[in-house]
Amino acid sequence: MEKKIGCYICTGCGIGEALDVKALGNIAAKEQKIPVVKNHEFLCGPEGINLIRNDMTAEGVNALVIVGCSHRVKTEEFRLGVAQMDRVDIRDKCLWVLDVPEGDKTAKEDRQMMASDYVRIGCVKVKKMNDPKPFEAPTPFSKDVLVVGGGIAGLSAALEVAQTGYNVLLVEKEETLGGKVAKMHKVSPSRAPYNKLEENPLPKLLAEVKGNKHIKILNNTIVQKTVGAPGLFDVTLKNGSGTSVERVGSIIIATGYRAYDPAKLEKRLGYGSSPDVITSMEFEEMAKAGKIVRKSDGKPAKRVAFSLCAGQRDSSHLEYCSGACCVYSLKQALYVIENQPDASAYLIYQEVRTPGQMEDFYRKVQNEGGIFIKGDVKQVSQGGTGLTLDVDDKILRKEIKMDVDLLVLATGMETTVDTTDPNSASPVGSQVDELPGSILNLQYRQGPGLPSLKNNFPDSHFICFPYETRRTGIYVAGPARRPMGIAASRTDAAGAALKAIQVVESVARGAAVHPRAGDLSFPSFREEGCTQCKRCTEECPFGAINEDQKGNPLFNPTRCRRCGTCMGACPQKIISFANYSVDMIGSMLKEMEIPEADEEKPRILVFACENDAIPAIDMVGRSRLGALSPFVRIIPLRCMGSMSLVWIADAMAKGYDGVLLMGCRHGTDYQCHNVRGSALAEIRLSKVSETLDRLQLESSRVKMVEVNIMDAETLPQVINDFVAEISKLDPNPYKEF
Amino acid sequence: MADGQAAGQTILVVGGGISGLTTAVEAAEVGYNVLLVEKTPHFGGRVAQHNKYFPKLCSPTCGLEINYQRVKNNPRIRLMTLAEVEEIKGSTGAYTARIRQNPRFVNQKCTACGDCAKACETEVANPYNFGMNKVKAIRHDHFMAFPSHYYMDPNFAASDEAKKLVAVCPVGAIDLGMKATVIEEKVASVVWSTGWKPFNAEKILPYGFGRIANVTTNMRFERMADKFGPTGGKLVRPSDGKEAKNVAFIQCAGSRDHNYLAFCSRICCLASMKQATYVRGLYPDAKVTIYYIDLRAMDRYEAFQKMVEADAGVRWIKSKPARIDEDAKTGNPVVVGENTLTGVRYEEPYDLVVLATGMEPNSATVAKVPCSDARYDEYGFVVSSGGLFSSGCSSQPSDVSGSVQSSTASALRAIQTAVNAKG
């Protein structure tokens, strides 16, 4: 079907009074050759919308340039089922950000020029757009979910997925299911009233899992390697009798935690020097066996001390807190003292961390006579009646000696997920068929494990989007994701189950998952133009692109999050989306009018991230937080990661006097929704001086700034300061060409 | 399976804060229909009142904005603001919810141009800023408000000035004739995400909030720290507007205490540490004192605590203060108590004292689940049962990350109910 563009210019909200709308219409109709160009005084109202709809029906208009307000408002009204559409914002980002005093002809003219340029580039953008054709995955496409790990988190995840109607393949490396919880006597409260020990939930859960026809359980099995992408993962499973390959749609890693090795702890805690110094897990096994005794001589242990934070919150060991050990130790204290008036439990702590309703459980242990000592164990020695602990009691402000039968060390949790630093990952050639210690052994160009954000935990946006890893379709549940106890793990498993189902349903529709959820576009690669430079395969924040032996990119559309980082990385311009391309943005910037040098109207091009910087600019307008220089022209980008250096060269060659890039905060506390986009843009930009040198231009003409979504107040100054800096330079000499 | 699931299966999500928004987008992106109902004029809830999140010290708006984009781009989500669920009848998988749509007095035509607010002369106490400043009677609550449509204070709608404003709107969006309407919706499952409100600090009599001008609360302080807030980002004493350069935070104000809230609200320790960075960042010569019982910086937040601890301008006193007096001459609040670690009694004056008040679940008071099957724990948190699920701070005191975790889980369980109801 031939494209027929309609350009509709709203004259409401003061647009009609401020601008020469007829002239704008002429730009669309005559200069840009848009076949249908119309004005309406209230385009987002029912009449205006009908005007567009009628043209779609009667005139065959199938692509739209809507000139009016920001795309961030009136989204519902302009949801007209047209994929090829641009909202040209001449209200929020033009009228509302410019200071045009009454009667100031120059200012008025400048404003008209800005609106004209925005109309031009809107038309160009839509001309360059194609309908995104959703990726149709090859068959067999699977919606089954692989759950790795048969502990409490894995079992819960498997059951949650199965109860939603999807098939599950549950892989456990041990002979039996249950993981660490199988060794547990009782569990701490998961529901009201929060002051009672609960029976171990495992037997019931196991029965449900085993009885669910959607769940296939594979014990004694490991994942040898994983190839593929969401909907199309081929997982090689290995057990005693050999290997098999299963196709699954998505993966939940629920391999739990590794207890911190007590042998690494300081000698002062006595682990290894006395059999009566044990870990929480060893104590738990004792309790389950019904015999809380001194290991040294088998006598009943009536005096039990618990040292919390053993090797945690400590820069020599785990620097973080494992979150669940306080509650866990309280539970174990109850094993000792509940209904046993002759027994004592001492909890030696730094802080008691019992958030939420767990405070009730803390009170319960206090009421049962648990003895809480804020301090540190300084030394453990063999005393006359058992262990003697030297404890620095911070409340009594002195060292005390305590005789106990057992000392239990609450060691922390480390994730069992193998993490990968994509920047130093081994390339495709070194991928191996089996990698001990790797959960999935991903056959990804960027390495076999999951990238980590902090403390080796494999997340990427842990406040707002805690389930997001950087490997699409692979989610992590339970303490493998973040330190947590049993109740939280079960909730976490349900959340991960949702994400695992969501990704298969989304990619089955050809749609992206977070953050561009629902986006049907995906990049295509013009392979014959590739020079095997590997930038796209190295830079994709989500590891979506593999390589063949020659270094050609092997793209996996269902792994793709549509950020466009590959497009920005490619020096050959061979990567593009149906509705977003190097050519599109390049054509847009070239279409704007650059005044002659002697007109003294410089032109500053601003590339702004549409996630944070663009909303911030909108807010400048909406709240009238200040005036922008009329010489700036703003082009939104999907993500700074999609920024191509070609555009900088094009802009300079076209005669723009400066280019300002506005991306999200990067570094340790990055805010880029695509993790690496703004960081990569910064790296790319460090090479721009070569381009500028070649053109014999000052390197200060191009600058990148970090813009937070709430920087609206300072944004006008940031932009205007840059314009002022650029204005000190001579005009770009290329204007004359 | 999700194929064809849309056939009449709708999930009702009540509350449009971070928890409700998350439940809605996560369920809708699987392919289910969601009706998201918010009582106030805008989405965003409690997090939208926050200046920054700990530990990244980033703006809540950033994550909210992405979620709003996801909402806007997803036709499976229906939104209602100024709407309250009055009754839920029926049984698991087949509920009928009666929802009251309160009038906005501004219709869908609103283009958010702001002409009405500019013309409006009447100002009212600003609930978004806890009454610390005044706002126009027709407005949106903050400039990132979603939806961006303006709304009119219902008390103002009957005034003569309101009638005059009708003509100010260039597109005729002000409609004073709007009446409350009631609709009924058939839904398979319900997720209750009505969040929390700050515990009423006036109830903690020894701390003098409401009586001593320079005793404030953490949420009020949060609004002050916002550069678009009532003080333009300045941290000042309410009594005289002077910069607060000697600030004390009192943890567990009304929490972990059987007289008030017996539970721990989980977030207040980190919130005060975060707010300490506001003070120290704004006034480099300022001093901060944090009175605490236990510092609960769970898991990776430990690093944030370490960072704040590394600041010599922040002093930590393990103590639950006995009371706060007011120095009549200076207006300084004077914190009185005993240091647990040194045993020394103190009586220290500050420019400003911030009470780290806890979370009271709205489901205990103003947002009870109007369904006879609803179950609660003793604090009024909603216990999931049947096809009614709770998420975020309706289920337990949670930080944002925990709220998103439980909301994603609740989205799945709501879907399971829909799937199984269909058979």
So what's the pLDDT on residue B423? 55
Q: Collapse the DSSP code of A159 into the 3-class scheme (helix H, G, I; strand E, B; otherwise coil) and give the result.
A: helix
Do A145-256+416-508 and A524-576 come out as alike in CATH topology?
no
Structural element, H or E, at residue A690 = helix A688-694
Q: Is A328 on the interface with B (CB under 8 A)?
A: no
So what's the pLDDT on residue B356? 98
Q: Do residues B214 and B333 touch, judged by C-beta distance below 8 A?
A: yes
Q: Which residues of B touch A636 (CB under 8 A)?
A: none
Report how far residue B193's alpha carbon sits from residue B49's, in angstroms, rounded to the nearest whole number. 17
Residue type, A196: K
pLDDT digits (tens, 9 = 90+) for B91-113: 999 999 999 999 999 999 999 99
So what's the pLDDT on residue A195? 94
Residue type, B131: G
Contact (CB<8Å) B56/A669: yes
Q: Which residues of B touch A143 (CB under 8 A)?
A: 1
So what's the pLDDT on residue B139? 96
> Is the predicted pLDDT of residue B367 greater than 60, yes or no?
yes
The CATH class of the A260-412 domain is alpha beta
Report how far residue B237's alpha carbon sits from residue B243's, in angstroms, rounded to the nearest whole number. 6
pLDDT digits (tens, 9 = 90+) for A118-134: 999 999 999 999 999 99
> Best of A516, A619, A625, A710 to disrupt the B interface by mutation (most B CBs within 10 Å)?
A710
Beta-carbon-side half-sphere exposure of residue A207 (alpha carbons within 13 Å): 3
User: Closest to B170 (Cβ–Cβ): which among A12, A79, A351?
Assistant: A12
Q: Which residue in A has a C-alpha nearest to residue B390's C-alpha? A: A491
> Is the predicted pLDDT of residue B6 greater than 50, yes or no?
no
So what's the pLDDT on residue A39? 97
Q: Which residue in A has a C-alpha nearest to residue B149's C-alpha? A: A73
Report how far residue A277's alpha carbon sits from residue A406's, in angstroms, rounded to the nearest whole number. 6
DSSP strand pairing (A604-609 vs A658-663):
parallel
Residue type, A38: K
CA distance A171 to chain B (A): 22
pLDDT digits (tens, 9 = 90+) for B372-396: 999 999 999 999 999 999 999 999 9
User: Closest to A467 (Cβ–Cβ): which among B61, B65, B408?
Assistant: B408
> Is the predicted pLDDT of residue B7 greater than 70, yes or no?
no
Q: Which residues of A touch B63 (CB under 8 A)?
A: 461, 463-465
Q: Which residues of A touch B409 (CB under 8 A)?
A: 491-495, 498
Q: CB-based burial of residue A163 (10 Å sphere; 0-12 exposed, 13-18 middle, 19+ buried)?
A: buried
Which residues face A373 on adjacent strands? A348
Contact (CB<8Å) A160/B412: yes
Contact (CB<8Å) B59/A454: no
Report how far residue B258's alpha carbon sits from residue B379's, in angstroms, rounded to the nearest whole number. 11
> Is the predicted pLDDT of residue B358 greater than 70, yes or no?
yes
Concatenated DSSP letters of A81-132: S-SSEEEEESTTTTGGG----TT-HHHHHHHHHHHHHHHHHHHHHHHT--PP
Q: Which CATH architecture has domain A524-576?
A: 2-Layer Sandwich (3.30)
Domain A580-737 has CATH 3.40.50: yes
Which residues contact residue B4 at a Cβ distance below 8 angstroms, ignoring those fewer than 6 apart?
none
CB neighbourhood size of A424 (10 A): 8
Nearest C-alpha neighbor of B356 from the set B294, B280, B284, B304: B294
How far CA A58 is from CA of A17, A35, A61, A131, in Å, comes to 30, 14, 8, 21
Contact (CB<8Å) A192/B377: yes
Q: Collapse the DSSP code of B84 into the 3-class scheme (helix H, G, I; strand E, B; otherwise coil) and give the result.
A: strand
Backbone torsions φ then ψ of A120, nearest 5 degrees: -55, -50
Residues lower than pLDDT 50 in chain A: none
Is the whole model's pTM more than 0.95, yes or no? yes
CATH number of B200-357: 3.50.50.60
> Best of B57, B300, B338, B393 to disrupt the A interface by mutation (most A CBs within 10 Å)?
B300
Q: Which residues of B touch A454 (CB under 8 A)?
A: 300, 303
CA distance B302 to chain A (A): 5
Quick one: fold of A1-131?
Answer: Rossmann fold (3.40.50)
Each domain of chain B, given as residue ranges in start order, spans 10-102+180-196+360-422, 115-168, 200-357
Helix axes B268-282, B218-225, angle to 10 degrees: 40
Pick the CATH number of B10-102+180-196+360-422 from 3.50.50.60, 2.40.160.20, 3.40.50.1980, 3.40.718.10: 3.50.50.60
Backbone torsions φ then ψ of A679, nearest 5 degrees: -65, -40
Q: Which residue in B has a C-alpha nearest to residue A352's C-alpha? A: B294
Contact (CB<8Å) B29/A517: yes
Q: CB-based burial of residue A651 (10 Å sphere; 0-12 exposed, 13-18 middle, 19+ buried)?
A: buried
Residue type, B97: A
So what's the pLDDT on residue A383? 87
Residue type, B154: P
Partner B, chain A 651-710, Cβ-Cβ below 8 Å? 664-665, 669, 671, 673, 708-710
Q: CB-based burial of residue A216 (10 Å sphere; 0-12 exposed, 13-18 middle, 19+ buried)?
A: middle
Report how far residue A732's alpha carbon sits from residue A445's, in angstroms, rounded to the nearest whole number. 42
Q: Do residues B194 and B15 touch, judged by C-beta distance below 8 A?
A: yes
So what's the pLDDT on residue A426? 61
How far CA B160 is from CA of A203, A454, B105, B176, in Å, comes to 69, 59, 14, 11
So what's the pLDDT on residue B1? 46
Each domain of chain A, given as residue ranges in start order, spans 1-131, 145-256+416-508, 260-412, 524-576, 580-737
User: Closest to A359 (Cβ–Cβ): which among B113, B256, B300?
Assistant: B256
> Which residue's entry shows tokens 């490997």?
A471
Report how far residue A725's alpha carbon sits from residue A648's, in angstroms, rounded to the nearest whole number. 18
Q: Do residues A167 and A147 touch, judged by C-beta distance below 8 A?
A: no
Q: Which residues of B touch A363 (CB under 8 A)?
A: 262
DSSP strand pairing (A222-227 vs A233-239):
antiparallel
Query: What is the DSSP secondary structure assignment for residue A74, as one 8-state letter?
Result: S
Backbone torsions φ then ψ of A299, nearest 5 degrees: -75, 150
Q: Is A42 on the interface with B (CB under 8 A)?
A: yes
Pick the CATH number of A145-256+416-508 from 3.30.200.20, 3.40.50.12280, 3.10.520.10, 3.50.50.60: 3.50.50.60
Contact (CB<8Å) A518/B70: yes
So what's the pLDDT on residue A637? 98
How far CA A66 is from CA of A80, A97, A630, A632, in Å, comes to 11, 19, 22, 21
Give residue B226's pLDDT band: very low, low, confident or very high (50, 70, 90).
very high
Nearest C-alpha neighbor of B314 from the set B246, B239, B400, B401: B246
Report how far residue A399's alpha carbon sits from residue A380's, in angstroms, rounded to the nearest whole number. 13
Length of chain A: 737
